[in-house]
Amino acid sequence: MRSSKKFDYGVGKYYLTINSIPNNITLSRDTADTALYIYNKYNDVGKQIEWLGKWNGKKFEENNLPKELEKKNK
């Protein structure tokens, strides 16, 4: 049985997902700076993390990482 998300995305918030077994964990932050900070911290400790971007009510915007983070992750 597939579980469903038990929350609604907040408009204007930044989201990222920590890919873990058996469940993925979705985090939200109000500003891009704090979301990028959290992304860096989880990435530094070796967690597999996915940047989703800013939710506008229908889809994710700003879903590309800044160039310096993309280089660091490769």
Tell me the per-residue pLDDT of 17-37, one tens digit each, with 9 for 90 and over: 999 888 889 999 999 999 999
CA 30 to chain centre: 12
Confidence label for 69 from pLDDT (cuts 50, 70 and 90): low
Cβ atoms of residues 45 and 39 within 8 Å: no
All residues at 6 or more sequence positions from 43 whose CB lies less than 8 Å from its CB, including other chains: 49, 72, 73
What pTM value is reported for the model?
0.80
H helix or E strand, kind and range, residue 49: strand 49-55
Torsion of CA 16, 19, 20, 22, to 10 degrees: 100
Residue spans of the domains in the chain: they are 14-61
Q: Which amino acid is at 7?
A: F
What whole-number percentage of the chain has pLDDT above 70?
81
